[in-house]
Structure formats: C-alpha cells, structure tokens
Structure 1
C-alpha cells in the first residue's frame, strides 16, 4: 500500500500541488464559521438567534453554490476562486463591525456567499488538472490538505477567541487575500464552456434526467444536515457539559488529525470499489457517530464519537466529489459541482436552525434524528447503486 500511495503522490501534476497549497492557507484561516455560534451567544444572542446566524451563512452558501458553478464554467476556475477570496476578506471585516442582529444576518449571508463561491470552481479545476480517472485520489489529497489546515486552524482560533473574537475575523480575511493572490499568480485557468448557444437551465435539465445523481444529491442533503451540527449544536453540547471553548477547538482538530493520518490510506484502498456502497457506508457512520454525541459527556467520550463520524467522512467525502466529476459531462462539470454544493448549502440552511431548535427543547431527539438521517442517506445510496449512472 505504501508503494501505491507513493506512486499516486508522484503522479499528481504541479498545478494540483499549487491548488493544494492555496487551499491550505485559506482553510487554516477559516476561523469565523466554526465559532459563529459561540461568537453570537457570547455577544448576548439566544441559541435560536445563533442558529439563524448559521442559517444565514447557509443561505449565502446556496447563492454561492449556484453562482459559483455558473462562473466556473463561464469565466474560468481561476478567476472565480480569486473573486471569491477577495470578496470573502471584505465581507469578514464588515461582519466583525456589525452590532445589530439584522445587520449581522445580512453580512453573514454575504460572507457565506463570498467565502463559498470558490468551492465548485476549485473542485472542477482539480478534475480538469488530474483527469476523471485520478480524481478519487486527488480529492483524497485535497481533503488531506484541508484537514491538515483544519487540524491547526480551530485550535488556533480557540485560543484567539478566548482573547478577542476580532482576531478571528482579521485572520480569516488575511488568509483569504493570500489565497486570492496565489490563484491569480499561479493557478491555471481551467476549462471554460462555450455557453453562448446554451439554453437557460440546460445543465440542470441534463442532471435531473440522471436518477442516480438525483439520489446522490438527496442522500447528501440528509447527511449534510447532520454534518453541520458540528459548527452549531456540537459546540453547544460541549459547552453544556462544562467544557471550555478550547475543548471544542481540540475536538474539531481531532477530526482533522485523524483524516491527516488515515484518509489517504483509506482512499487508496476504497478507490478499487464501486463508489455508491462506499459512500453509503460512510454516510451511515456519520449519522451513527453524531447520534452517539447525546450519550457523551466527558472529553474522552466526545473524542470517541469524533472517531466514529470521522470514519464516515473519510469513507465518503473523497468518493462523492470524484464520482460527480466522473459522471458530469465536461461542459457542465462546474455546474454539476455547483449542484452538489447546493445540496451541502441546503443542508446547512436546514441543519443548523433545526438542530439548535431541537437542542433547546430535547437534545436527545436531535441526536436520534442524526442517526435516522444517516440511515435514510445510506438507503437512498443503496437504491442509487441499482440505478443508471451515466
């Protein structure tokens, strides 16, 4: 396995490594979103209002997903990434100065749109660079980079937040600008589609006729509602059992550390299998892991639940994005990635407010619901495996 891993690493072209480097800088500095709920509650807002804040970010995510996929195919991947990074920096600095709840919601939505605009372009660019056949390992490496940054980022942010939340906003903005410069100077343009004679909504019509892709989107929506408890109710649960902000930061970093240590090896192993069953198993582990959170009230127990849902993430995440890249027609690749990201966005919009609503009333119902969402997602994917994929 070591030899296979080494060969996979050596086969990645130089532009892929530049993309990984820029992504590392940006994700390390993603300080604000993981601590948004804690920032709002510490500022005097209720748990429900904090959930609305996360939902506003998710609404911006939805806008970014649709617009980002379109821009990735229209103006090119590189320009879309740079636009996203510079706009994100401006939005984060503006959000740091917001003092009323309506202005916070508006600026959080704008920050979500700007910050996440790059995502479909980044995913499409990676497939452009390495090709569909190498994309599973390439996305495993992409996630390795993200989580290498994420292992250090939240822990750093936790210490900063204990001193001043303003440091989170400034750090987030600075790292976004750095990635924007890297994109303009060093990244290739990537593919651009000739959309002059294309009917409005053509990519959506093409995608909607692929029943397997539709099932994948529905399953992804279900499990993303669970995933986004990490930045909302999971943080509140850690606080409710009497642990400090830095404990939450370390638990989030544990997720990244596990991925750094094990995901590439897992990806090398599972890429030999059909994607649908692997994704289904991963989604099931994710739901089960978060369901166990309700039973965990000590740091070791919480750390154990992180292991379970991280296994699910390591199984499913590289495979999902690579699978979409493989089945998407080349001229629609950016918009297919956009549709996948839209499902993540809808999961954020629904998951955080619904999660905080349930947490404030019956936390065990929330964690049981996470398990149920994992089962539903896995069932959809098992059904998908029997459907036409191209």
Structure 2
C-alpha cells in the first residue's frame, strides 16, 4: 500500500518499467491481436441459422461464466502462483475456443460459451498481480495504463483483420485466436522463470476473507463500480440516442472508431502526464469528465455534436484507465494481489451487466443523461472523501519493498 512518488520530468512513458512488465505487455498485445472470435460470434451463429434468442442465450452464457472467471483466477494466482495460473488460463481459453467452433448444437454451444467465459478471465488477475508486484509503486499507473493501451491497440487491428478472415470461414478466426493465446502462454513460459511462483508470498488467510473485512477496499470498489456503470452507457445508450435522432448505424461505427483512435494515439501522452499524480483525484475528475461527455449526448442532434461528446468521454476514459487497477494494487496486502485484482475485475464484469439495465430504466424515465452528469459529479465527490482514509492507510503501513522486476524472485 503506497502513495505516489514524483517521476523525473525527463522520463518518458516507456522508460523505467521492469522486464516482466514488458513481457506481459507484449503477450497482451499479441493476444489481443487475435481476439477475433467473440466480437464476431453473433454473426457466425446468425449465419448458421440460430434465432436472435438463441444467439442471446449463448452470449449470455459467456457473460455468466465471466463472472466466475475472475474470482477463480485470483484464488489460483495467490495459491498456485502467477506464472502457473497465467499459462494454464491461456491454454484453457484456447481449448474452449476450439470447443465453440466444434460444437454441433445449441446445447454444446452454450456449454462451450460458459466454459469460455470462465476460462477466458482466469489469466487476468495473475497478469495484473505480476504488474503490481514487479513495478515500482510510483510507476504502477503508467504500467496499468500501458496495458490498457495494448488491449485497445490490439483490438483495433483485430477488428480490421477479422472482417477479412470471416469471409473465408469461422475456423480461420478460431485458428488466429488460438495461436495468439498460445503465443502469450509461450512468452510467459519462456520469459518468466519458474522461481517466481515459488517466491510469491502466501497470505496467511484466503485473500477474499481479508478483502471482505477491508472497508476501504470495499468503498474503493464501490467508487469503481459507479464509474464503470457510468462508462457502460457509452456502449449501451449511445446507439439508442443515434437511432432516436434518425442517424445511421454507420455513424455509430465511425464514433466507436474515433474513440479507439483517441485512446490509441493519445493515451501514452496522457499516461506520462497523469501517472505521477495521486490516484483518487485523477479517478474522480476522469469520471466526472465521462459523466459530462455522456450527459451532453442528451443535447446532441447533429453528427458533429456526437463527435464532440465522444472526444470528451474518451478523454475521461483515458484518465480512468490504469488508475483503477493501480488504486486496488495500492490497497493490497502482501501476497493477495491476485485476489484483490480479481475483485476489481469482477467489479468490472458486474458493471457490464448492470450498466445496460440501469441505462434502460433511466432512459425510459427520460432521466438517463441527467443521471450521467450526476453520477460523474458524485464519483468526483466520493473520490475526494476517500482521500483522507487512503492517506491514513499509507501512513500506517508505509511503503512496501518492491521486488526487482527483472529478477526471478517475486
């Protein structure tokens, strides 16, 4: 549990990070370059003649599995080790992808999608735990921000590649996804020594039992949940607003592309500016910016209005990225990074479920856009109120020793 430390002005966003981080960054980038099956699964199933309800059942099964994947991955990461969990989770995910492609009926597809949701998130807490443990505390925001950047950069390329491959058969998408997942596992197996798992401190008690009594962590997760439910409206409510104004679906595609381009181009610059700053103020202000950008969607009429709103909430997204996982890492006791990061991942999964439901209720009540502005402002106040408690935690515990990210020990 640490506070931030100043970063030299001459340092760039890419300097000073440990070798283990760059291995994980490279693996994540490669893995996301092949993340093409799930985004196009609905198109594939519809092409096979499945109804909209049946497609929804398969996709929902995947989401349900995802709710269990993060907690399982966090437990395994703290008990079996980060390296072992990473490799096992990635290989299991590759196997589930093959099962989805080979399934011959709806029952098999649903079961494979459920297994895929469970396996697909197992590796994430282990990867986040390694980033938290091997990166000096004052560089964690930069490291987690760059991991978010790798996901977006890889996804942008994957979307373009997948459209071409799908025309030649769904198995090509599966082959690419499996190959990149296995490549990530190989990078971890070759680049991260076995000794790291043996050197991981084991918590005296289950990490989730410790977390359940950590009131500051629970309050921080509540803050993150509010911010993530708010951000979910960018995916759920934006297309509905466009449709209500009679604007074409192609505009939605352009706006999503604009959001991705802003993140990919500008996030490294913003990371360099923001990473030396305290976590909670950056999170609070960023959530308020997201809320303001989404609230202005309610006033948008013409396409250029929507462009302005997307630019605004995309800037807020960049500010949120990295600082969420970093805040959780700063609150984590020794040996429990896997379970604590899993709780953050589970919070994000809950937000993806709750966001559309909350948006639907508020949209029907004609209160969604006002609620976005109010939620953003509430998050900023909430973050400000948590700052004294975080400062007291830091003073009470003091900064922990951070392992050398290039060594075998963790």
Category of TM-score, reference length = shorter chain: 0.7 to 0.9
Give the counterpart of 1:17 among 22, 26, 37: 22
- Per the alignment, residue 210 of structure 2 pairs with 206
Match of 1:242 in 2: 248
Q: Which runs of 5+ in 2 are unaligned?
A: 1-6, 394-410
In structure 2, the residue matched to 1:117 is 122
**Once the two structures are superposed, what CA deviation does each residue of 1:76-116 show, in whole Å capped at 9, x if it has no partner?**
21221111211112212322344655544432222122121
Aligned positions of 1:378-389 closer than 5 A? 378-388=380-390
Mean CA deviation greater in 177-186 or 378-387: 378-387
For 1:300 and 1:327, locate their aligned partners in 2 and report how far apart those are by CA, in whole Å.
Answer: 42
Partner of 1:71: 76
How far does residue 141 in structure 1 lie from its aligned partner after superposition? 2.3
Pairing partner for 1:31 from 36, 55, 78: 36
Matches within 5 A, 1:219-258: 219-228=223-232, 241-244=247-250, 251-258=255-262
> In proportion to residue count, which structure has more helix?
1
Match of 2:86 in 1: 81
Hey, what does 2:184 align to over in structure 1?
179
Contact (CA 8 Å) 2:295, 2:369: kept in 1 or not? yes
Shift of 1:381: 2.4
1:368-389 deviation per Cα after TM superposition (whole angstroms, max 9, x unaligned): 6555544444443233224346
Residue number in structure 2 paired with 1:93 = 98
Residues 368-379 of structure 1 mapped to structure 2, 5 A cutoff: 370-371=372-373, 373-379=375-381
1:1-390 aligned at under 5 Å gives the runs: 4=9, 6-35=11-40, 45-46=51-52, 53-98=58-103, 100-161=105-166, 167-189=172-194, 190=196, 193=200, 195=202, 198-199=204-205, 202-228=206-232, 241-244=247-250, 251-293=255-297, 300-352=304-356, 362=364, 370-371=372-373, 373-388=375-390, 390=393
Alpha-carbon distance between aligned partners in 2 of 1:286 and 1:375, rounded to the nearest angstrom: 10
Distance apart, 1:254 and its partner CA: 3.2
Task: Provide the alpha-carbon RMSD of the alignment.
Answer: 3.6
- Contact kept? 2:64, 2:117, Cα under 8 Å: yes
Does the 8 Å CA contact 2:279/2:326 hold for their aligned counterparts?
no
The alpha-carbon deviation at position 343 of structure 1 amounts to 0.6
User: Which structure is larger by alpha-carbon Rg, 1 or 2?
Assistant: 2
SS in 2 for 1:151: helix
Q: CA deviation digits over 1:307-347, x for unaligned, max 9?
A: 22221111112112122222211211111111111111211
- 3-state DSSP class of the match of 1:11? coil
Q: TM-score when scaled to structure 2?
A: 0.78
Tell me, in whole angstroms, the C-alpha distance in 1 between the residues paired with 2:178 and 2:234. 22
**CA distance in 1: counterparts of 2:145 and 2:153, whole angstroms:** 12
Structure 1 229/266 Cα, relative in aligned 2: closer, same or farther at 3 Å? same
Task: Provide the aligned length of Structure 1 versus Structure 2.
Answer: 382
More off after superposition, 153-162 vs 10-19? 153-162
1:61–1:327 CA distance, 2 compared to 1 (3 A): same
What is the rounded CA distance, in whole Å, between the counterparts of 1:166 and 1:237 in structure 2? 36
d(CA) in 2 for partners of 1:55 and 1:123?
26
Give the whole-Å Cα distance in 1 for the aligned partners of 2:237 and 2:174.
22
Q: Name the TM-score, length of structure 1 as normaliser.
A: 0.82
State the Cα distance separating 1:278 from its structure 2 match.
1.0
Q: Are the counterparts in 2 of residues 77 and 125 from structure 1 also a CA contact under 8 Å?
A: yes
Question: Take 2:256 and 2:19, find their aligned partners in 1: how far apart are those partners?
Answer: 30
Query: Which runs of 5 or more structure 1 residues have no equivalent in the other structure?
Result: none
Residues 161-170 or 339-348, more deviating: 161-170
CA contact (8 A) 1:270 1:278 kept: yes
CA distance in 1, matches of 2:166, 2:367: 30
Do 1:68 and 1:117's aligned partners in 2 also have CA atoms closer than 8 Å?
Answer: yes
- Cα drift, residue 273 of structure 1: 2.7
The 2-side partners of 1:5 and 1:143 are apart by 23
Structure 1, residues 195-248: CA drift from partner, whole Å, max 9, x if none? 4x834xx4234333433321221122223234445666656777884335xx66
Shift of 1:27: 1.4
Aligned in 2, Cα 1:9/1:89: closer, same or farther, shift over 3 Å? same
